[in-house]
């Protein structure tokens, strides 16, 4: 097996740099062909994968959910797709958590060589890809607007501090959905498209299946222009206790394999923790699109 390892030196307070010698030692034990590359900017992830990805069997990404998201989009454009292995060094690591990939780096490094391959669905949104979540509304901007400095100091609490400051500045959004051929127009403080058990570190969709060609569409409903205290309570309950905990009167849930969303103006959406701006979205679920190295019997 041939391994291409790409790491973000700033992810997780630079934790990965302390393990580079250990990683190289382990790679030498299991293979003779490998390449280790360090990113200096976000664009390097795509550049490295597009330049070298087809020459390797496995691309190992050291970083958080945003770093992994960029890697997925680069892999998606290759004709010969390498498998994806993850060393989680981000603040929340939802993707790794969803696949039971350990945060302990020595255990995660061993998994690269001892794990099994799992073919995971991808969420294709216009021309971008996501592995686990897309949404808009309250709190969805925090993952890409919270500063790296705050995350280094406060960890995942930085997201909470930043989100609370913006709660009452966030407007509810008017959206038109076409889901499974059914049209729906609603005002929402938050909607999510979920292909994961975990979102923002919370076990939000406990029965999720990542390879069935479907995702869960969850839309909180309201008739107000701005979020109210009761809306915030429902959102908190959704994250703390899962989508099933919200009263059916105030949430629309559907399993969908394709979806169209229209807004009156360009909206800031969150796709796997990264900013995605659009007025119209065409969403398709690509069944078993990316192979990920996961623990055996995952």
Per-residue model confidence as pLDDT tens digits over 157-166: 444 544 555 5
CATH 3.40.50.2300 fits 128-287, yes or no: no
DSSP state of 82: P
Q: Which residue bears the tokens 């979020």?
A: 227
> Each residue of 260-294: pLDDT tens digit?
999 988 988 889 888 888 999 999 999 999 999 99
Q: List the chain pLDDT tens, one digit each, 298 residues.
A: 899 999 877 766 667 777 788 888 888 887 778 899 998 887 899 999 999 999 999 999 998 888 899 999 999 999 999 999 999 988 788 999 999 999 888 899 999 989 999 999 999 999 999 999 998 887 666 655 555 565 554 455 444 544 555 555 667 888 999 988 889 888 888 899 999 999 888 899 988 999 999 999 999 988 776 667 888 888 888 888 999 999 898 899 999 999 999 998 898 888 988 888 899 999 999 999 999 999 987 6
- CATH 2.60.200.40 intervals, the chain: 128-287
The CATH superfamily of 2-114 is Probable inorganic polyphosphate/atp-NAD kinase; domain 1 (3.40.50.10330)
- CATH 3.40.50.10330 intervals, the chain: 2-114
Other Cβ atoms within 10 Å of 269 Cβ, number: 24
Q: Is 260 exposed, middle or buried (0-12, 13-18, 19+ CB in 10 A)?
A: middle
Q: Considering Cα of 119, then 218, then 72, then 266, what sign does the dihedral take?
A: positive
Q: Identify the CA nearest to 190 among candidates 129, 250, 257, 145.
A: 250
CA atoms within 13 A on the CB side of 292: 29
Instruction: For residue 5, give the H/E element and its range.
Output: strand 2-7
Paired with 122 in beta bridges are: 286
On whether the CB atoms of residues 131 and 291 are closer than 8 A, the answer is no
């Amino acid at each position: 097996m041939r391994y291409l390892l790409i790491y973000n030196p700033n992810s997780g307070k630079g934790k990965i740099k302390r393990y580079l010698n250990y990683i190289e030692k382990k790679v030498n034990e299991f293979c003779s062909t490998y390449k280790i590359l360090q990113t200096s900017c976000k664009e390097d992830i795509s550049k490295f994968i597009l330049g070298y990805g087809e020459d390797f069997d496995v691309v190992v990404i050291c970083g958080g959910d945003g770093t992994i998201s960029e890697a997925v989009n680069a892999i998606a454009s290759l004709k010969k797709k390498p498998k994806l292995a993850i060393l989680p060094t981000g603040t929340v690591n939802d993707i790794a958590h969803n696949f039971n990939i350990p945060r302990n780096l020595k255990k995660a490094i061993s998994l690269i060589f001892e794990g099994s391959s799992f073919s995971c669905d991808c969420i294709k949104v216009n021309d971008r890809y996501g592995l686990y979540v897309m949404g808009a509304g309250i709190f969805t901007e925090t993952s890409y607007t919270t500063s790296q400095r705050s995350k280094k100091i406060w960890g995942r609490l930085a997201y909470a501090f930043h989100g609370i400051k913006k709660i009452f500045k966030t407007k509810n959004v008017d959206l038109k959905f076409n889901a499974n051929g059914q049209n729906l127009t609603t005002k929402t403080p938050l909607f999510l498209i979920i292909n994961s058990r975990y979102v923002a570190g919370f076990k939000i969709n406990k029965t999720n299946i990542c390879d069935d060609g479907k995702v869960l569409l969850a839309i909180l409903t309201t008739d107000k222009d701005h979020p109210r205290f009761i809306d915030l309570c429902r959102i908190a309950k959704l994250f703390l206790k899962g989508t099933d905990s919200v009263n059916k009167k105030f949430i629309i849930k559907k399993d969908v394999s394709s979806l169209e969303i229209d807004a009156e103006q360009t909206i800031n959406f969150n796709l796997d923790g990264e900013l995605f701006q659009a007025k119209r979205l065409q969403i398709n679920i690509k069944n078993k699109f990316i192979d990920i190295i996961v623990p055996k019997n995952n």
